[in-house]
Every structure is written in structure tokens, then in C-alpha cells.
Amino acid sequence: MSIPKRPKLVVGNWKMNGLRGDLSELTAIGEIASASARVEVAFAMPAPLIHQAARAVPGLQIGAQDIHPEPGGAFTGGVSAAMVRDAGGCFTLVGHSERRLGCGETDAMVQAKAVAARRGGLNAILCVGEDATARDLGQAESVVGSQLEASLPSASDAARLSIAYEPIWAIGSGDTPSLAEIARIHATIRQACVRRLGETGRTVRLLYGGSATAANASQILALADVDGVLVGGASLRAATFAPIVRAAIAWATD
Ligand code: PGA
């Protein structure tokens, strides 16, 4: 049975950067994205910018960088899936390593957030990735495997789920794994998805993240089981993000 080509998904993650005046950076990207039906372009925005970004820029998917696992209540500072949706967002990242490490988020919390996203009507991009020590010990696959085992939601909650493989040592460092390493880990993630989610696991989009730039995006996007990229630093300016979006469009129209 042939499996339809999954459309590429290019996601920018602004992290804790950007004010309303910076939203003009999204305009050119929206224009490029609107011209291709085969590539989806999304931005995980700081929460206060979600509403304006979603209203102002057609052609882009706008989402959050995190949500609270509960639907509402006495959780000072929390942002629920329903709030993100109400602001015009359609997805959220969950389990980014900066939250796992900086905010002590466990796999169980990440799983609860993925479930909350689904129930609140948001797509989720679940992030996994090993640190430098695990990599040096040759344990990247086992670390990623156990993160997935403990944080993937059940099949019924996995619809509209993507997974981002982001080695922690590659984020913001300018280093990336070799293409062979990325391909190997993505194949492992795909197997884990199919094992845990059944046939649905083949439709989950797998993104690579960690120092993805215009210089390496074409080669990374051409790998089997790489369905897109999650881009931090290079997503902040149209000048550095547009070539990555164009690389995805070129691949999709090949
Ligand atoms: P980077 O960040 O592209 O700046 O390495 C990626 C991420 O953390 O999502």
C-alpha cells in the first residue's frame, strides 16, 4: 500500500523574543506560504502575540509554545488550550527541552499537555531529544525512545499530533547531528509511533529541530521520515526564515 506524501511543516519558534512591532517579520513569510498548498508554515509565538499574529497574517498557522494541562482554574500564570484557541491559535508545542529543563517538566506532564491540547482543539507538536552526555554515550535512541514511551498520548488523543526531534546539544549551538544520525533517529521515532498508535502512527509528522538554517534545511528536509523542521533563532527574521520555507516548497514541488 503506498502512503501519501505527508505535506512538509515548517515551524518557527520565537521563544521569549519579539514585541508587536516585530510581527511585520511574519508578513513576507505569510505571502510565501500562501503561494504553496503543499507546505504548511507555522509560528509558535509568545502568548501575548498570538491574537494579533493570527489576525494580522493570513497563510500562517499561529500557535503557542506551551499550555497548562488543566482546562482552567486557579493556576496563576497558566494558559489553557481553550485560551490559545480563543486567541486564534491552532496548535501548541509541548515538552520543549527549555521547559523540560528550565521548568522541571516530566514526561507525564508533557503527555498530559498533549492530551489537553487535543481536547482543547489544538494540534500538538511534542518535543523530544537527548542531551550531550547521552549522545556521547551512544544513548540518543534509547533516551528518545523512553521519552516517547512515557509522553506519547494514546491513539485516540494522537490525532493531529506531530513530534519534533530536537537534540538539546544542537539547539542554538550551530551544531547538528549528521544526516545519517537524523535519519536513524527519525526512523526509530516512526517505529515507536506505529508501535504505540497503530496505523495512525504513519500519519504523525516528524520534524527535526536544532540549529536548522537555510544552509542545512534542504538536505534535512529531503531525508525519509523528516516531515518538516522546527526553527528557533533563524525564525525571528524573514531574511533567515524565508529560505528555509522556500527549501520546503522546492522539495514539495519536486
Ligand atoms: P534553534 O532552536 O533553531 O535556535 O537551534 C530550535 C528550538 O529550540 O526549537
| One pLDDT digit (tens) per residue for the chain, 254 residues | 445 567 899 999 999 999 999 999 999 999 999 988 889 999 999 999 999 999 999 899 999 999 999 999 999 999 999 999 999 999 999 999 999 999 999 999 999 999 999 999 999 999 999 999 999 999 999 999 999 999 999 887 777 999 999 999 999 999 999 999 999 999 999 999 999 999 989 999 999 999 999 999 999 999 999 999 999 999 999 999 999 999 999 988 77
* Residue 210 alpha carbon to ligand 1 centre in Å: 5
Number of domains in the chain: 1
Residue 185 domain-assigned (yes or no): yes
CB 62 within 8 A of CB 42: yes
Ligand 1 pocket residue status of 230, Cβ below 6 Å? yes
96 given a catalytic annotation: yes
Residue 223 domain-assigned (yes or no): yes
Residue 1 domain-assigned (yes or no): no
166 given a catalytic annotation: yes
How confident is the model at residue 156, as a pLDDT? Answer: 77
What is the domain-level CATH number for residue 166? Answer: 3.20.20.70
Atom of ligand 1 nearest to the CA of 173: 5
Catalytic residue of the set 25, 96, 98, 186: 96
What is the domain range of residue 135?
8-253
Residue 183 domain-assigned (yes or no): yes
Cell numbers describing residue 91: 496548535
Q: Measuring CA to CA, how many Å separate 254 from each of 24, 84, 132, 250? A: 30, 35, 36, 6
Residue 3 domain-assigned (yes or no): no
CB 221 within 8 A of CB 228: yes
Ligand 1 pocket residue status of 10, Cβ below 6 Å? no
Residue 118 domain-assigned (yes or no): yes
How confident is the model at residue 252, as a pLDDT? Answer: 83
Q: Please give the Cα distance from 191 to 212 (Å, whole number).
A: 24
How confident is the model at residue 192, as a pLDDT? Answer: 95
Quickly tell me which residue has 519536486 as its cell: 254
Residue 243 domain-assigned (yes or no): yes
Residue 2 domain-assigned (yes or no): no
Total length of the chain: 254
